[in-house]
Structure formats: C-alpha cells, structure tokens
Structure 1
C-alpha cells in the first residue's frame, strides 16, 4: 500500500537560488510519515503515554535528483519496503507530477521513552502493511 501526502513549496522552503533547501526534503518526508502513521490508525501520543513507546529514525539514505521550486505542488509517496520485529524500512519519494525529485529509504525503530531500543509491539506489526 502506498500513502500519498500532498504539499506545496512555500517561499520559506527555498534558498537563495529559489530552489527547495536540501534539508527541507527531510521535513517533507517527516510530515508524510506522521500522516502515514495516522492513516494506519496509530495514535503516537497515546502510544507514548500508555505504552511508553516512540518511533525514531535509525538510518536514512537520500538521493536528490532534481530541484523543486517555489509554488510547486509536490507529493510524498510512502511505501513499506520491509518490516521485522524491531524495525520498519520505508521508501519515501518526493514527486512533482510524474517527475521524481527526491528518493529516500528510511529505517524506523521503536524506542522506550528513556531512549532504549525495543521490539515493535505485535499490534503495530499487524497494523502496518
């Protein structure tokens, strides 16, 4: 299953050259991941409060392929690549129409609120496709 998250590039997202500043792609994919988790029916606030569990990025690979510019309409496409008992690997691409601008692979892990690694709960593994 692929989740799509639409966004528009604002002036504040760009650099002096008028293109999206490279670090902002990480913000874009973070927003998309938050919405992907929400669509999965996972309430991260409740998960932290009741189960003492949070998600964290463990590893990220990113390819910047073409620039996005002010006022572009973009779509972040999020897909599960792999899931184990301890991690979720996602592919996240930023598209402008059919043009691939940014491609990433993000590894998420579960942590206790104290920052200790923990296994993904069975209910989370069942929910995530």
Structure 2
C-alpha cells in the first residue's frame, strides 16, 4: 500500500473473545467481516443503504485472496488499512491489511475484487465513489 496516488483508509477493530477460535487467535473468516466493515466505512453506510433501497444497487465479491501472517488475539485493537482502485467500468479492487499493535508486518493481507449489481442482479458499471483511484 505504498502507492502515493492511493488514499489509505484506516478503520479500527476491537478483537472480542467471540472473534477467536479454540487456539485463542482470530478465526480466519472473521477477517472478511472486518474488511467488509472497513469498506462500508469508506463508502458510507448511508450511501450504501440509499443505493440499495432507492436504486436496487449493491456490491458482490467475486474474488478474494488472503495471506495469514500473524494471528491477532483477544484484546487486540487492529488497524485495518484499505485502498481501493477502480479497474475498468465493472470492477473495484480493494487491498486490505490488518495490523496488530506495534507490529512489524501485517497480521493478514487481502486482495478483494468487487462488482456492482443492479436490479435483478444484473452486472452494471461501478458508480462514482470518491475514494477510488483509477
């Protein structure tokens, strides 16, 4: 996430006991939830809700690639660093990193690709979203 043209969005996630598995680290699938919350925070819940309820527009993940490097644990306050890039008319690529406090490397990395779906779940061009780079 060192590209100077990309805006990095920061989002904090408190790790609760319920987020962990039997080994005491965050259950791997929960990172997808954390990254989803960060994306909703970037776009704005009111804007997403309006798009959905008034225009029938939503987003769907069609590809995700994740790397797990250092498990977060109960009590950690993770910093989610996110950038987004519009690639063509129909795809957004998000890069996410989950950082533990005072860590030298991200705990988890994720590249996630989204498309926009309109009424009847038909593929449609990505609407204008302020935070995206082209």
Contact 1:85 1:125 in 2 (8 A): no
Q: What residue number does 1:30 align with?
A: 36
In 1, the alpha carbon distance for the partners of 2:73 and 2:15 equals: 7
Q: What residue number does 2:56 align with?
A: 52
The alpha-carbon deviation at position 101 of structure 1 amounts to 0.4
Structure 1 unaligned segments of length 5 or more: list them: none
Question: How many residues of Structure 1 are paired with residues of Structure 2 in the alignment?
Answer: 125
Distance 1:50 1:19, change over 3 A: same
Contact 2:43 2:129 in 1 (8 A): no
- Calculate the TM-score normalised by the size of structure 2: 0.85
In 1, the alpha carbon distance for the partners of 2:129 and 2:89 equals: 7
Contact 2:85 2:132 in 1 (8 A): no
Q: What residue number does 1:78 align with?
A: 82
In 1, the alpha carbon distance for the partners of 2:22 and 2:129 equals: 43
Structure 2 unaligned segments of length 5 or more: list them: 1-6
The structure carrying a bigger strand percent of its residues is 1
Q: Deviations over 1:35-83 (max 9, x none)?
A: 01119xx701111223221111111111111111010110111102443
Q: What residue number does 2:73 align with?
A: 69
Q: What residue number does 2:95 align with?
A: 91
